[in-house]
Structure 1
Amino acid sequence: MPLFHFMYIILLVILAIYLLGYHVGWSIFQYDELRLISLLISALCFMLILFRLNTTFRYKSIFVFILLFLGLIFHFNKFSIYQHQDLAMLIGLTIIILWVTLEIRKYKSIQPFNHFLFFLIICSIIPTIFIIFSIKDFLSGGIWYNWQMNAGNIRIYDSVVVPIIFLAIYLKSINYKYISFIYPLIVFLLTLGLWFDGARAALLSVLIGLIVIFILSKQHRKLVLGTGAVILFSFAVCHFTYYFYNKIHGVDKSLNVIRTSTSGRWELWSYVYQKWVEQPWKGVGGNFLATTDYPLNHLHNFYFKLIFEWGVLGFIFLCWIFYQLKKVLTSDDVHIALKAGICAVAVDAFFSGNLVYPASQISIFLLLGLAFSQYRPDIQIVSKTKYLSKIVILLWFGLYIFIVGSYFLQDLLCYQCGSHAELMAPGFWYYGKAEHLIHHSLVP
C-alpha cells in the first residue's frame, strides 16, 4: 500500500515514541516538537484529501464550513499571533480526524491497524512499570521519583491515557487474541498511574465511559465489571502505599490518595467569563490567556474555550461537533467501546486540555478516527456534493497554508529551538505565552 495510506499508523508511532520519552531533536522540548509535527501532518492531510480521495460532505457541513470561513476572513486582519496559533490548531484537529476516518474506512479489514493499536498500548504501559520502583523509594526514603518517561506536565500524560484505555477495552471486546491475557495488567498499570497522579478528571472520564458500556451493552457487562474490579485494585494499591508510608514515617495522615485541593478551574472560568460578557458575539480571542498575566495558558475546558474565545463562530463550530458526535453515538455500526471512549474524551475535555496538548490530541485522533470510520453515512445523498466539497476543502487548505507560511514557517525551519516565557504553563507551545520558538542558545 502507498505511504499515504498509513497516516493512522504514522500518528500511532509518533505517540508511542512520545510515551517512551524519545524525540527526534527537531526542537529541544518534546511538546514543541509534537506541535511542529502536527502542523506538517495537518498540511499533508489537506493535500491527501484534496488530491487522493473522493471526499464529500453533506450540505449542512458545507454550509457550516463556508459560514465559519467567511466569519474568520472578515476579522482575519485583526488577529494576533496567539489567535493564529489557536486557529491553526483547531483546523488541524478537524482535518486530521477527517483524514484518519476516511483512510480506515477504505479497508475491509482493519486487523493490521489492531496490531499497531496493541503496539501503542504496550508502549503506554512500559513507563508505568517504573511506578514499582517509585513506590519502593517512596516507602524507604520518602522521596517520590517521577516514573514517566515523557517530559512535561503530568496532566498531559493523564489525558493521553484516557483514549488508550478505551482502545484497550475495544481490542478486548472484539476478542483480539494478543490482549486477552495481559488486559487486566494493562488496566491496572494505566489506572494506577492515574491514581498516583491524582488525575480526578481522567478517572471520572474513565468511570463514565464504563457506565455507558454497562448501561447500553448487556453482552459487555462482565467485561465492565472485571475492568472496574481491576481499577478498584489499583486504587487499593495506591491507598495502601500512602497508608504504609504514614505508618513507617510516623506521619499523621498527611498523605493520602484523595486530592482535596482545588484545581482553580472555577476561578479560571469565572475570570474568562467576565472578559467574555464584554464582547460575547466576537469572543475574547483565540488563545486569550496567553495574552494575560494569568498563571495558566488555556481554559481547561474545550467547550468554554470555543464559546468564550471565539464567540458566535466558536458556538457554531461546537454545535457542528455535537451534531457529528450525535450521529456516531446513535449509530448501530459503531462499536460500544468506541462510543464509550468518545463519551470519556468529552467528559475529560470539560476539565482538561486534552484537545490542546499535541500528545493527547494524537491519542484522541486514533480513537475518533476509528469510531467515525465505522459510521456509514447515506452514500447517495453525500455523493451529490462532490464538487462543492472540493471547493470548501480548497478554501480551508488555502487559509491553513497561508497561516502556516506566514506565521509558523520560521518555527518549522528553526532547528534545535524551543519556546520560552516567564511562566512555564503549556498552551500552543510548551511555554504557552511564547509567540515563536527561539534557538536553544537563547533559552535560559
Structure 2
Amino acid sequence: MNSPRSLLDVSSNQKAFKTYIKPLLNIELLLVLYILLFISGFTTQDGYLFYNEYRAMQIILLLFFGLIACFFQRDKISKGELVFFALVAVGSIFWAQPAFVISELLLAYLLYKSFGLLQYRQLASKLLVLSSLTMFIELPLALWDYIQTGKYAAIWYPLTWNIRVYDSYFLLVSIFAVWLYLTNQRYRYLYLLFLFLAFLAILLDAGRSAILAYTLFIVTVSIFYRHVRYPLILVYISSWLVYLSVNYIANLNAVRSLGMDSQILRVTTSLRDDLWMNAYQCWSKQPLWGCGFYQLDGYEHLAAHPHNLFIQVLSETGLLGFCFLFYVGINILKRINWQSRSRYFVIAALSAVGVDMFFSGVHIYPVTQMVLLWLFVFLLKNPEFASDSLVPSTPKNLIMTLLPSLFYVVVSLWFIDLLVATEVFLSEVPFTPPRFWVYGYRL
C-alpha cells in the first residue's frame, strides 16, 4: 500500500512535469529554434551563402511540418488548395522563367500547411522577444564608433543580411513585445527595453518603411489601450531623442575633424517608383497570368523584386494570382473575432505588417517569412483574437482525403530536386538582391 508521502511525491512530480517539462514538448519550439539560430548569428558558410543555408533549413523544417500535417493528422484538402495548384499548373505555361515563381508559390503552400498545424504558445513568443535582446549587446560600441567617426555602420548585427531584414524583424518582434507588455506579463520592463532598442536600430538604419509601420502600430495601440498609452509613447519618443542626439553629436564631430556638412538625419535613396513602373510594364504584357519572374534578365540594374508584395504578386502571377491573394486576405479577416476588444490590437498589427509589405521586400527572406508565420499563428489562433465560428468541414470523399499526401509528395520532390540539382552551397555568385537561392541565379 502506498504511503501518503509517496503519493505526495508522485503528485508533486506530476505537477512539476506539467509546469516545467510539458510546455517544452511541442513542435512550435522547432520554429523558435530556427529563429534563435538567426539571433545568435549561426552560419557555416562563407560570404553570402549563409542565405542559402537558412533557406535550406527553412525548407527542411516546413517539409517536416507538412509531413506531420498530411500523414499523421490526416489533413484534408480544401477547394482553395485545388484552385491554387491549378493556378500553378496553368501559370507555368505562360510565365517567363517559371521555376522562380513555382518555387516561391510552393514555399508559400508549405507555410500555409505549417500554419494549419502550429498552435500558439505564449512561451515561444516570450523566448523570441527576450532572446532578441541579446542582439543589441554590441550596439553601444557601434554608437560610440559613429560618434567618433561620423559614419554609422550596422556592424553589430550578428549576420551580414540586408539591414532591412533586421528592420522588419524588429518590427515583427515588437508586436509580440507590446502584447506581452499589454497583458501584464512578468519582466514587463524588458519588453519596453526591447521596444526602445528595436526602434532605435530601425531609425539608425533609416528604414523608412519599418519606421512608418512601427509608428502606425504604436499610435494605434496607444489610442485603443489607454492603460499602456503613456509608457509606449514615452519609449517611442525616447528612441527618437537618443537617435537625434547621437546623430547631432556625430555630425558635430565630423564637421570639426573632417570638415563635412552637418546632417542631423540619416537618409537613404529609393527607387520605388522605378521598381513599380518596371513591374507595371512587365504585368501589362500579360495582365491575366502575369509575366513570371522578370528582373534578372531584362533589368540588370534594378532589384529582383519590386519591394512591394502586392505589386509583385500582381505582376508575376497576374490578376488571377492577385485575386487569390485577395481571397487569402478575406479568409484571414474571417478568422478574427471582431466582437472582442482585442480586435484593435489585431488591426494595429495587420496594418503595420501591411505597410511594411507595401514598401519593402521582407517577404523574400527565409527568416522574416518564418517570423511572419508565427505572427499569423499568434493573431489567428490565439483565443484572445480568433473567432470560434469557423469550423472546418471534413469531406468524406476518399480522393479528397488522399490528395494532401499526393500534393505533399510532389512539393517535396520539387524542393529535393532544387537542393540537389542547383548546388546551392557551391562557388561565388553575383551580388544582387536575394530571391530564392543566392541570389536568384541558382535556378
> For residue 297 of structure 2, what is the aligned residue in structure 1?
291
- Whichever residue aligns with residue 230 of structure 1, its letter is V
Distance 2:397 2:23 in 1: 25
Distance 1:96 1:68 in 2: 14
> For residue 51 of structure 1, what is the aligned residue in structure 2?
71
- Whichever residue aligns with residue 202 of structure 2, its letter is L
1:133 to partner: Cα distance: 1.0
Alignment match of 2:62 (pick from 15, 22, 42) = 42
- Whichever residue aligns with residue 409 of structure 1, its letter is V
Structure 1 length as normaliser, TM-score?
Answer: 0.83
How do residues 69-218 of structure 1 correspond to structure 2 at under 5 angstroms?
Answer: 69-76=85-92, 82-104=97-119, 113-145=121-153, 146-177=155-186, 179-215=187-223, 217=224
Aligned residues: 414
Query: Residue by residue, what CA displacement relative to the aligned partner does 1:261-309 show, whole Å, maximum 9, x if unpaired?
Result: 5411111110120121121112010x32233323311111111111110
Kept in 1: contact 2:150–2:253 (CA 8 A): no
Distance 1:329 1:263, change over 3 A: farther
1:10 to partner: Cα distance: 1.3
Distance 1:175 1:52, change over 3 A: farther
**1:151 alignment partner, SS class:** coil
1:207 to partner: Cα distance: 1.7
Provide structure 1 residue ranges, at least 5 long, that are not aligned to the other structure.
105-109, 437-444
Alignment match of 2:318 (pick from 311, 316, 322) = 311
Distance 1:143 1:380, change over 3 A: closer
> For residue 300 of structure 1, what is the aligned residue in structure 2?
307
Distance 2:436 2:424 in 1: 18
Query: Residue by residue, what CA displacement relative to the aligned partner does 1:28-84 show, whole Å, maximum 9, x if unpaired?
Result: 622111111122222222211112225457xxxx3332223223223436666x532
Distance 1:349 1:385 in 2: 39
1:205 to partner: Cα distance: 0.9
- Whichever residue aligns with residue 362 of structure 2, its letter is N
Distance 1:354 1:385 in 2: 39
The reply on whether 1:276 has 2:283 as its aligned counterpart is yes
Distance 1:329 1:428, change over 3 A: same
Kept in 2: contact 1:18–1:30 (CA 8 A): no
Q: Choose 1 or 2 for highest CA Rg.
A: 2
Alignment match of 2:350 (pick from 342, 350, 354) = 342
- Whichever residue aligns with residue 418 of structure 2, its letter is Y
Kept in 2: contact 1:56–1:390 (CA 8 A): yes
**2:363 alignment partner, SS class:** coil
**2:290 alignment partner, SS class:** coil
Q: Which has the higher contact order (CA 8 A, sep 6+)?
A: 1
Distance 1:277 1:85, change over 3 A: closer
Distance 2:396 2:389 in 1: 12
- Whichever residue aligns with residue 163 of structure 1, its letter is L
> For residue 393 of structure 2, what is the aligned residue in structure 1?
382
Kept in 2: contact 1:39–1:92 (CA 8 A): yes
**1:6 alignment partner, SS class:** coil
> For residue 248 of structure 1, what is the aligned residue in structure 2?
253
**1:427 alignment partner, SS class:** coil
> For residue 441 of structure 1, what is the aligned residue in structure 2?
none
Kept in 1: contact 2:204–2:266 (CA 8 A): no
Query: Residue by residue, what CA displacement relative to the aligned partner does 1:155-213 show, whole Å, maximum 9, x if unpaired?
Result: 11111111100011111122221x31222211111111000000110111112223333
Distance 1:90 1:225, change over 3 A: farther
Distance 1:118 1:397, change over 3 A: same
Kept in 2: contact 1:21–1:151 (CA 8 A): no
1:91 to partner: Cα distance: 2.8
RMSD across aligned C-alpha pairs, in angstroms?
3.0
> For residue 442 of structure 1, what is the aligned residue in structure 2?
none
Distance 1:325 1:419 in 2: 41
Structure 2 length as normaliser, TM-score?
Answer: 0.83
**2:138 alignment partner, SS class:** helix
**2:434 alignment partner, SS class:** coil
- Whichever residue aligns with residue 81 of structure 2, its letter is F
- Whichever residue aligns with residue 106 of structure 2, its letter is I
**2:302 alignment partner, SS class:** coil
Distance 1:10 1:267, change over 3 A: same
> For residue 10 of structure 2, what is the aligned residue in structure 1?
none
Percent identical pairs in the alignment equals: 20
Provide structure 2 residue ranges, at least 5 long, that are not aligned to the other structure.
1-20
**1:33 alignment partner, SS class:** helix
Distance 1:231 1:84, change over 3 A: same
Kept in 2: contact 1:283–1:309 (CA 8 A): yes
Kept in 2: contact 1:4–1:48 (CA 8 A): no
Alignment match of 2:414 (pick from 403, 420, 428) = 403
**1:425 alignment partner, SS class:** coil
- Whichever residue aligns with residue 138 of structure 1, its letter is Y
Distance 1:184 1:273 in 2: 42
Distance 1:417 1:336 in 2: 48
1:397 to partner: Cα distance: 1.9
Q: More displaced, 331-340 or 68-77?
A: 331-340
Kept in 2: contact 1:297–1:427 (CA 8 A): yes
